[in-house]
Structures are given as structure tokens and as C-alpha cells.
A = this chain, B = another copy of it.
Amino acid sequence: MPAESPVVADLTEQDLLDRIFPHLPVGSRTLVPPGDDAAVVTAPDGRFVVTCDVLVEDVHFRRRWSTGQDVGRRAAMQNLADVVAMGARPVALVVGLVTPGATPVSWVEGLARGLGDACRPLDVGVVGGDLSSGPVVMVSITAHGDLEGRAAVRRSGARAGDVVAYAGRCGWSAAGLALLTAERPDVDPGLVADHRSPEPVLAAGPDAARAGATAMMDVSDGLLRDGRRLARASGVTLDLDDVRVAFAADARRLAAAADALGADVAEWLLTGGEDHGLLATFPAGVPLPEPFRRIGVVSTRSADLVRVGGEPPRAAGSGWDHFRDRGQPRR
């Protein structure tokens, strides 16, 4: 075995697991921890929320742009964002990890550290998983949540007259990817960091549910595309305000990057995915829980599922499609 920089193929499966496990929290809700055929997790209200998301090397990330820790943290965050988008508190993850034998062990340890970084502060346990060799790195995470007695907040509950609100960053990840692609990360390293490892506002999901949100979803494919999904599920139209006004703080933050690249801030705001902000609707007059801000209103269903500033949106792209938009990572 080489003295330094060992790769995955230098270790047995058990050796690799022994390197990974110390980085992973068990979680206080875990009754039977990893190491058996399956784990057992509490579900105090008699239900559990479950969602699955896969990250594939050279589709969703590049190893030359992202560390193992970035990828681990991001893989966890995007799954946790789906859990909180139902109004649930995240409680447990399982992780399927495929990696080439030539992957440095330190990269895999970094990935475990990134998972742990995302999960530990929330008392989310990493309760199981599976390891396999394969031609590229693939991280498949299934995340679980507890509705704490509340109804799930679905996409289908928005009603005409509701307020449309958004929590979290918008367009940052898309701008960060654009800077990386143009080899200009120096223009705004903060946006690049947000691309590598987004910072969704996870507490906002359960807070929105407690405040009476009528519909909610995680924005992973862009505001337009995901907004249309929510509108379609609810049988309504979303009337968004002019995005440069509704997302004024984000627009200011994105201005320098847009100037440097000759890009359009509004396009990033409307079609940039994977900031994992929360799009929600609330009955009119309900005080919006922090950090939700109003970005529009719900109207009765009309020809367009989403209007922006009263018009059909003019943005060129409408979001990401896995099997169509090929040739570069999703972000």
C-alpha cells in the first residue's frame, strides 16, 4: 500500500468505511445505527417524509471545480432542502456512494466530512449507505423528515389571492457556475463558493408550514421552471413582480459578475437553479416568516402559468433538463 495519497483501490471496503464513519453523525433519532442490515429511525407522529436526489460527476459537478467536502455538503443540502420544502424537519439520511478505484481516499473522506458538516448542526443522522466501485463518482442520497404533527405543505395548495414569497438566495449558483465556466472566479469568489456548496435556509421550511403556507417547493431548476410546476399543480397562475425589484438585493450582488461576463442578471434570477431557495404561497395578510419576502401574488389560472411584471417571461431558457441539456455540468 502506498505510503501517501492512497486511492480507494488500496483499501478494503471495511477500511474505507472505517475512514468514513468517524465523520458522520448518528443523530439522536436513530434507534439502530449503521452496521446492521438496516437502520431504525423514530417517526413520532406516525409518518415520515422521504426524498431522493442523485449527484453524478461531470453532470452535476466536476472534481476539478469542487472538493469532496463541497460535493458532500451540497449533496446533503439539496436533499435536506426537499425535506424542508414539505414543511418537515430533517432527521436522517442514507447515502449510496459509487467511486472509481483511482479516487483518492482523502477525496472520499472530504465527502464524508461535507455530509457531516451539513447534517450535524441539524441533528440529522447519517444512518446507512452502500459503497460500490464505478466509472465516475455518484452520490445518491435519500433524506427523511418529521412533519411534527403538521400537514405536509404540497405544491398543489396555492389559491388565487395568496401571496407568493421566496426565502434564500436566488441566481448565485448560476452566476458562480458562469464565472467558473468563463475562468473568471476572481470576479466574485463568494458566488463561486455558493455554486460549489449552496446555503439553503433550511429552517424556513418548517417555519413556513407553522405560519400557514398553502403551497411550497424547493427551487432547484430555476424560478420559472419550478414556479410553473407549482402553478400547474395548484391550477393557478403566479404573477411575479419584476425580478430586478423583487430580488433587488440578489440583483445587486450579481451585477459585477453579469457586467464582467456580459450576462443578464434577470436571466440568472429566473432560470438559475440549485440555490435551493424556497418558493411558497401564503394567505394574504399572514405575516411572512423570516427570511421570506414577497415576490408576487397568485392569480386565477390564465394562459401563462407564470407571468413576470405582468408579462409572459422573456428569458430564453426555462431551466434544466437532464437528458436534453448536455455537455456541461448542471451548475
Contacts and interface: CB of A to CB of B under 8 A. Distances in A.
Contacts of A85: 37-38
Interface string A122-151: 000001111111111010101111010000
A160 interface: no
Interface string A95-110: 1111001000000000
Copies of this protein in the complex: 2
B40 A130 contact: no
A112 to B, nearest CB: 15
A124 to B, nearest CB: 13
A31 B321 contact: no
Interface in A142-165: 142-145, 147, 152, 154-156
Q: How large is the interface on A (under 10, 10 to 19, 20 to 34, 35 or more residues)?
A: 35 or more
A244 interface: no
Interface string A224-254: 0000000001000000000000000000000
Q: Of A48, A143, A147, which is in contact with the most chain B CB atoms at under 10 Å from its CB?
A: A48
B8 A134 contact: no
B132 A37 contact: no
Given A32-B154, A37-B82, A40-B49, A140 B54 contact: yes
A179 interface: no
Interface string A41-57: 11110111111111110
Interface stretch (A9-17, A281-289, A299-307): A9-17
Interface string A75-91: 00000001101101000
A64 interface: no
- Most chain-B Cβ atoms within 10 A of its Cβ — which of A38, A59, A142? A38
A133 B82 contact: no
A132 B56 contact: yes
Interface stretch (A166-174, A190-198, A290-298, A322-330): A322-330
B37 A51 contact: yes
Interface of A: 8-9, 11-13, 16, 31-32, 35-44, 46-56, 59-60, 82-83, 85-86, 88, 92, 94-98, 101, 127-136, 138, 140, 142-145, 147, 152, 154-156, 216-218, 233, 321-324, 326
